[in-house]
C-alpha cells in the first residue's frame, strides 16, 4: 500500500487534500462547526436581546432601533463565534477519529498530525477569508451604522420609554423611578413626568425624592445628563435613622449619566468605526491597536487550527472531553491576552512593533513545544547533544 509520506512537495499536499480520508475529516469539521456555531449564536442572541432591552430601559433607546442594534452587535461578535466554533469542531473531529481507532489505522499508513493539519485547511481558509473581510470591512461599517442609530436616539425624548404608573430601574438598580402621569411637552418633544417618585443611592446613602414634575436636562458644558425635578421633597436616610434629613426644593437636578464617560465611549466607537485603510496610515496608539486587533482575529483562526489538531489527539481509553476543556481554557486565555495587549498598546504600555504580535508568537511557541513533546522531538535532540558531549 502506498504510504502518504512517499509523495513529495506540493503534489504531496494536493494529493492529501483530495483523498477520501481528507474529505471525510473536512465533512466532519464542517458539520460540527456548523452545529456549534448555531448553538453559540442562539445563546449570544438571547443575551443580546436581554441586554439591549435593559439598555433601552436605562438610556431611552426607541423600540424601533432595538432590532438593528441587536443585528449590529451579532455581526460584531460573529468573528469570535466562528473562531471558537471552528476550533472546537477540529478538536472534536480529531478526537472522534482517535476514539473510534480510525486515527490509529491512519497512523499506521503514515498519516499523522501534520497530515491532519493539511486536511483541514480547505475548511480553515474560507473561514479565514470570511473573518478577514468581516473584521476589516463589515464590522467597521456596522459600527458606523450603530453610531448613527445611537446619535439618532440621543435626539429622541430621553424618557420616551417611561411608562406611567410602573416602577422602573436604572443604573443597575441604583435608581428606581415611578411617574403617575407622562405627557408630551408643550414647547418641545421631551416628555414631562408628573407626580414623580425616585429612590436612589447617593454616596451609599438611600435618598427618596418626591416631585410634582420632572424633565430631562443636558448640561452643555459637561454633557452630563440630569433629571430636572420641580417642587418636591428629598428624604436622606430612612425614618428612624439619626442621620435622616428632609429637604424641600423648588428645583433640583439629579444626574443620571456622566458626560465624561459618555464622551470616552463615543471616542472609542469612532475609532472602531474608521476604515481599515485609515487605521493603516494612522500613527495614534489607539488606531494602531484597533488595526492590529482586526488582523489578529483572522490570524488566530489559523493558529488555533494547528492547536486544535494537537488537542484532539487522545487515546481510545482517554477522556473524551478533556481536549475540549483544555481548548476552551486556552481559547479564553488567548483572547484575554490579546485584549490585554490591545489595552496596553492603547495606553502606551506596549511598543507599536510589539503590539499584539507577541501574543501570537507565544501561541506559536506553545504549539511548537506541544508538538515536540508529543513526538519526542526534544528527547531526540537531547540525546544528540548528550552523545556529542560524551
> Based on the domain organization, do 193 and 142 belong to the same domain?
no
Phi, psi of 177 (to 5 degrees): -120, 140
Per-residue pLDDT of the chain (390 residues; tens, 9 = 90+): 445 444 444 455 555 556 777 788 889 999 999 999 999 999 999 888 888 777 766 556 667 777 888 888 899 899 999 999 999 999 998 888 887 777 677 776 667 778 888 888 889 999 999 999 999 999 889 888 887 777 665 544 444 456 677 777 766 667 788 888 877 655 444 678 888 888 887 766 788 888 888 887 777 777 677 778 888 888 876 655 666 777 888 888 877 666 555 555 555 567 787 888 888 888 888 888 889 999 999 999 999 999 998 888 876 565 567 888 899 999 999 999 999 988 888 887 666 667 889 999 999 999 988 888 766 655 554 554 445 444
User: How deeply is 328 buried, as exposed, middle or buried, from its count of CB atoms within 10 A (0-12, 13-18, 19+)?
Assistant: middle
- pLDDT score at 183: 76
Position 387 scores a pLDDT of 52
Angle made by CA atoms 383, 387, 390, in degrees to the nearest 5: 140
**What CA–CA distance (Å, rounded) separates 298 from 291?**
12
Per-residue confidence (pLDDT) for residue 269, from 0 to 100: 64
Residue 266: inside a domain? no
Instruction: Say if residue 282 is in the same domain as residue 143.
Output: yes
Q: What pLDDT is stored for residue 39 in this prediction?
A: 94
Q: Which of 279, 288, 280 is nearest to 355 (CA)?
A: 288
Cell numbers representing residue 43 in the block: 445563546
SS3 17: helix
Are 137 and 284 part of one and the same domain?
Answer: yes
Residue 188 has what pLDDT?
45
Report yes or no on 163 lying in a domain: no
The per-residue DSSP string of 137-152 comes to IIHHHHHHHHHHHHHH
Instruction: Note whether 44 and 128 are same-domain residues.
Output: yes
Distance separating alpha carbons of residues 44 and 81, to the nearest angstrom: 9
- Nearest alpha-carbon partner for 303 in 39, 43, 87: 87
Q: Is residue 264 part of a domain?
A: no
What range defines the domain where residue 192 resides?
168-257
pLDDT at 8: 46
CA 280 → CA 220, 299, 340, distances in Å?
35, 17, 21
Domain stops at, among 200, 223, 257: 257
Q: What is the pLDDT of residue 124?
A: 93
Residues 144 and 36 in one domain: yes
Nearest CA among 191, 123, 140 for reference residue 293: 140
| Tally of structural domains, the chain | 2
Judge if 44 and 141 occupy the same domain: yes
Do both 146 and 284 map to the same domain? yes
Q: How far is CA 261 from CA 200, 264, 286, 360, 380, in A?
A: 20, 5, 17, 32, 58
Q: Are residues 315 and 233 in the same domain?
A: no
> 0.85 cut: is pTM over it?
no
Residue where one domain finishes, among candidates 206, 226, 257: 257
Give the full edge-to-edge strand order of the sheet including 245-257.
Answer: 168-170, 175-184, 191-202, 205-218, 225-236, 245-257
In whole angstroms, give the CA distance from residue 116 to residue 133: 26
Same-domain pairing of 208 and 288: no
Report the pLDDT value the prediction gives residue 209, as an integer from 0 to 100: 86
Task: Measure the CA–CA gap between 337 and 331, rounded to whole angstroms.
Answer: 10
Q: How far apart are CA 252 and CA 207, in angstroms?
A: 13
Tell me, yes or no, whether 140 and 207 share the same domain. no
118 and 16 assigned to the same domain: yes
Say whether 168 sits in a helix, a strand or coil: strand
**Domain shared by 380 and 290, yes or no:** yes
Amino acid at each position: 500500500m502506498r504510504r502518504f509520506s512517499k509523495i513529495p512537495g506540493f503534489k504531496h499536499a494536493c494529493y492529501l487534500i483530495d483523498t477520501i480520508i481528507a474529505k471525510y475529516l473536512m465533512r466532519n469539521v464542517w458539520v460540527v462547526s456548523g452545529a456549534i456555531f448555531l448553538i453559540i449564536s442562539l445563546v449570544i442572541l438571547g443575551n443580546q436581546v436581554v441586554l439591549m432591552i435593559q439598555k433601552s430601559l436605562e438610556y431611552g433607546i426607541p423600540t424601533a432601533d432595538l432590532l438593528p442594534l441587536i443585528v449590529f452587535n451579532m455581526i460584531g461578535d460573529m468573528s469570535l463565534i466562528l473562531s471558537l466554533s471552528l476550533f472546537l469542531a477540529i478538536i472534536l473531529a480529531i478526537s472522534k477519529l482517535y476514539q473510534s481507532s480510525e486515527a490509529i489505522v491512519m497512523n499506521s499508513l503514515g498519516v499523522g498530525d501534520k497530515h491532519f493539519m493539511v486536511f483541514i485547511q480547505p475548511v480553515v481558509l474560507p473561514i479565514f477569508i470570511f473573518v478577514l473581510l468581516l473584521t476589516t470591512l463589515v464590522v467597521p461599517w456596522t459600527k458606523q451604522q450603530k453610531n448613527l442609530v445611537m446619535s439618532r436616539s440621543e435626539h429622541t425624548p430621553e424618557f420616551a420609554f417611561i411608562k406611567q404608573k410602573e416602577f422602573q430601574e436604572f443604573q443597575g438598580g441604583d435608581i428606581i423611578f415611578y411617574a403617575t402621569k407622562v405627557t408630551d411637552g408643550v414647547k418641545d418633544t421631551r416628555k414631562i413626568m408628573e407626580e414623580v417618585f425616585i429612590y436612589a443611592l447617593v454616596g451609599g446613602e438611600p435618598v427618596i425624592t418626591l416631585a410634582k414634575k420632572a424633565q430631562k436636562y443636558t448640561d452643555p458644558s459637561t454633557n452630563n445628563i440630569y433629571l430636572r425635578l420641580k417642587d418636591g421633597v428629598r428624604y436622606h436616610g430612612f425614618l428612624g435613622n439619626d442621620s435622616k434629613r428632609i429637604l424641600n426644593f423648588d428645583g433640583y437636578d439629579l444626574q443620571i449619566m456622566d458626560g465624561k464617560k459618555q464622551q470616552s465611549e463615543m471616542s472609542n466607537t469612532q475609532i472602531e468605526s474608521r476604515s481599515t485603510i485609515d487605521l493603516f496610515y494612522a500613527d495614534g496608539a489607539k488606531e494602531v491597536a484597533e488595526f492590529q486587533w482586526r488582523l489578529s482575529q483572522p490570524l488566530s483562526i489559523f493558529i488555533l487550527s494547528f492547536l486544535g489538531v494537537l488537542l484532539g489527539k487522545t487515546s481510545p481509553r482517554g477522556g473524551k472531553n478533556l481536549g475540549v476543556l483544555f481548548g476552551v481554557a486556552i481559547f479564553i486565555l488567548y483572547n484575554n491576552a490579546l485584549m490585554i495587549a490591545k489595552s496596553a498598546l492603547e495606553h502606551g504600555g506596549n511598543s507599536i512593533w510589539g503590539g499584539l504580535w507577541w501574543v501570537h508568537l507565544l501561541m506559536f511557541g506553545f504549539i511548537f513545544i506541544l508538538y515536540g513533546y508529543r513526538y519526542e522531538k526534544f528527547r531526540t535532540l537531547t540525546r544528540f547533544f548528550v552523545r556529542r558531549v560524551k
